[in-house]
Amino acid sequence: MSGFRDFWVRAALLLSLLIPIYFLFAALGTRFGMFDWTFGLLTMTEQWGERILLAGAALALVGLLLAFLVAPPRGRGLALISLLIPAVGIGYGLYLRQQAAELPAIHDVSTDLIDPPSFSDAVAQARADVIGSNSLDLLGKRSEDGRAFIELQREGYPDIDSVPTGLTQAQAFQVTLALAREQKWTLGEVDAPRGAIEATARSFWFGFTDDIAIRIRSDGSGARVDMRSVSRVGRVDTGANAARIRPFMRELRLRLEEAGG
């Protein structure tokens, strides 16, 4: 019986050690184009990943019981490690679900919910080339329960708003562009006459791309800056787009004040 116990504990530990490698492969495989995001995230991570974590925890729990009950007592430390790994994974998954439940179920955030900044044809085409990409029609978007995205944003992110500058469009554009160049973004179209700046931000693990549009437009009392950030894929962004807009607009306000806006 002790031989069976030792085999089970070692096998459970080996399987637990393979779990992080599995999730790493799913994330980086998606990022580097080995398979599309629907397989890497929805199938490998969310669907299969949950089952793998539960199976790993169950096997480790049996191993832990054997380590305590079968004489002579041996392998308790290994059994605890093999249980800890899937337990951490399960806990992290529950944390992400709770976080998503507390945030607006949207993937498109804009400082202007009446006339959101638009994107160029190049961005629209890049998004069209991605399987299951999200629409750019913010005003027409609805959550799964039928509520408008703009309504959900007003409730969840009431602080996200345009930035009045008190400067000319050209002045405000230069300040905004300088700040955009300091971000960890890839700049796309930069059109000073139109007051338009486009960029993309890419996540590390899965390589998910968010499209960013910044608009600097005269409003009668100086230029006004608006910003929009949209996930290319995925129904919810767990707050990523809002978290991108907030610090950028906050820093922009400070720089505009320094520039006399």
pLDDT digits (tens, 9 = 90+) for 17-73: 999 999 999 999 999 999 999 999 999 999 999 999 999 999 999 999 999 999 888
Nearest to 215 by CA among 227, 230, 199: 227
Residue 153 has pLDDT above 60, yes or no: yes
Q: What is the structure's pLDDT at 258?
A: 83
Average pLDDT over residues 236-252: 96
Give ∠ CA 148-151-154 in degrees, rounded to 5. Answer: 150
What distances in angstroms separate CA 257 from CA 42, 166, 171, 181, one per listed residue? 45, 9, 12, 19
On average, the pLDDT of the chain sits at: 95
* Lowest-confidence region among 56-60, 181-185, 203-207, 219-223: 219-223
pLDDT digits (tens, 9 = 90+) for 84-102: 999 999 999 999 999 888 9
- Burial (0-12, 13-18, 19+ Cβ within 10 Å), 183: middle
Q: What is the structure's pLDDT at 248?
A: 98
Q: What is the structure's pLDDT at 259?
A: 78
Average pLDDT over residues 3-8: 91
B/e letters for 237-255, b = 16+ CB within 10 Å, e = fewer, are bbbbbbebbbebbeebeee
Nearest to 160 by CA among 100, 230, 251, 247: 247
Nearest to 211 by CA among 131, 139, 127, 137: 127
CATH no., domain 108-258: 3.30.530.20
Say what percent of the chain tops pLDDT 90: 89
The model's pTM: 0.89
Average pLDDT over residues 129-142: 96
Beta strands 186-191 and 108-110: pairing type? unpaired
**Residue 28, both tokens:** 């980086």
Phi, psi of 185 (to 5 degrees): -115, 165
Which residues make Cβ contacts (< 8 Å) with residue 112, sequence separation at least 6?
162, 215, 226, 228
Omega of the bond prior to 247 within 30 degrees of 0, cis? Answer: no
The residue type of 122 is: A
Q: What is the structure's pLDDT at 261?
A: 54
Q: What is the structure's pLDDT at 219?
A: 83
Residue 9 has pLDDT above 70, yes or no: yes
